[in-house]
Amino acid sequence: AQSVAQPEDQVNVAEGNPLTVKCTYSVSGNPYLFWYVQYPNRGLQFLLKYITGDNLVKGSYGFEAEFNKSQTSFHLKKPSALVSDSALYFCAVRDIATGGFKTIFGAGTRLFVKA
């Protein structure tokens, strides 16, 4: 069965420092992987995705993520955090072996960037 784990409920980082939000996954086949961000009183917004190819994918607002097949991880990163990056982040996986129509979301990680 598909699953997604975000091991940290909250990540705290100082503005200007690099940030990492962790995600590991389990699927039976090859995954499509996504990161979304949620700001207060808003729906989830797409940040970036991994489909195939280069393991480092770049997305919106300066975020990037690294796909690691051997560790089944897809960690979200940003070289220099901004206070405005403070939000709730969700990792999601879609298993294309099962038709690719169901997306499983992690529990979310709250990022807090301190000025």
Q: Binding to other proteins (CB under 8 A): which residues in 82-101?
A: 90, 94, 96, 99-101
Among 8, 20, 22, 32, binds other proteins (CB under 8 A): 32
State the distance between the two ends of the chain, measured CA to CA, in whole angstroms: 41
Q: Is 108 in the site for other proteins (CB under 8 A)?
A: yes
- Which one, 15 or 75, has the nearer CB to other proteins? 75
| DSSP category for residue 42 | S
Contact 2, 26 (CB under 8 A): yes
Applying CB under 8 A, does 1 fall inside the site for other proteins? no
Alpha-carbon span 15 to 82, nearest angstrom: 5
Residue for token pair 């393991």: 55
Specify whether the CB–CB gap between 31 and 96 falls below 8 A: yes
Q: Which of 42, 58, 69, 114 binds other proteins (CB under 8 A)?
A: 42
Q: Which residues bind other proteins (CB under 8 A)?
A: 4, 9, 32, 34, 36, 41-46, 49, 51, 90, 94, 96, 99-103, 105-108
